[in-house]
Amino acid sequence: MKILPQRLAFIRPCVPSTAVRPSQGADWIHEPKWDGFRFQIIKDGAGVRLYSKSGAEYTDRLPGMVAAFASMPTESAILDGELVLIDPVGAAHFYRLMREMRTRGPDETQLKFLAFDLLYQDGVDLRGLPLGERKRDLNRLCRKSKVPFLRQVETFPDGDVLLDWCNNFGFEGVVSKRLSSRYASGPSRNWVKVKCPDWKRDNAERFRMFEGQSKPQPSERERALKKKREELSRVRERLQALQKHQAILEQEIAELEQA
**Residue 142 burial by CB count (10 A; 0-12/13-18/19+): exposed, middle or buried?**
middle
What Å distances lie between residue 215 and 99, 218, 226, CA to CA?
Answer: 19, 9, 16
Distance CA 108, CA 27 (A): 37
Which residue(s) pair with 16 in the sheet?
188
User: Phi and psi at residue 84, in whole multiples of 5°?
Assistant: -130, 140
Contact between 175 and 16 under an 8 Å Cβ cutoff? The reply is: yes
Q: Which residues contact 154 (CB under 8 A, 6 or more apart)?
A: 31, 32
Of 106, 1, 93, 15, the C-alpha closest to 54 is 15
Of 88, 83, 89, the C-alpha closest to 101 is 83
Which residue(s) pair with 47 in the sheet?
44
In the annotation, is 33 catalytic? yes
Catalytic residue among 2, 33, 135, 226: 33
The helices-and-strands tally (H runs, E runs) of the chain is 7, 10
Which three-class secondary structure state does DSSP give residue 135? helix
User: Phi and psi at residue 252, in whole multiples of 5°?
Assistant: -65, -40
Catalytic residue IDs: 33
